[in-house]
Amino acid sequence: MNHDSFPPITVRAGHLAAAIAIDRQTWDGHVAVRHPEVSPYLDCVIGTIEQPEIIARDATHPERVYFLKHWPDVPHFRRNWLQVLVLLPLGCP
């Protein structure tokens, strides 16, 4: 994906009644800085949110939801799994 013309992206979260927004500020300010190994894989991040194999909610912080997906053809992910943390608004089911 061309990051020069990075539009805001809304992703339907698998199995949740929520849409997840990914914008350039979040991508450049958080992902590219704190997780540079994931930065070239925006399509995988979207695919993980849209069609996760595992969804886990943090027991201590219920606004944190982890989406996990196995990407066997992407060796850059730890054991070929991508984990995406999404922060939901408080009170979101």
Report pLDDT for 70.
95
What predicted TM-score, i.e. pTM, was given to this entire model?
Answer: 0.80
Identity of the amino acid at 35: H
- Better-scored residue on pLDDT, 16 or 44: 44
Q: For residue 92, is it within any domain?
A: no
93 — pLDDT class (breaks 50, 70, 90): low
Tell me what percent of the residues of the chain surpass a pLDDT of 90. Answer: 27
Mean predicted lDDT score pLDDT of the chain: 82
What is the tally of structural domains in the chain? 1
CB burial of 39-66 (b: ≥16 within 10 Å; e: otherwise) equals: eebbebbbbbbeebeeeeeeeeeeeebe
Q: Could you tell me the residue range of the domain that residue 10 belongs to?
A: 3-87
Q: For residue 93, is it within any domain?
A: no
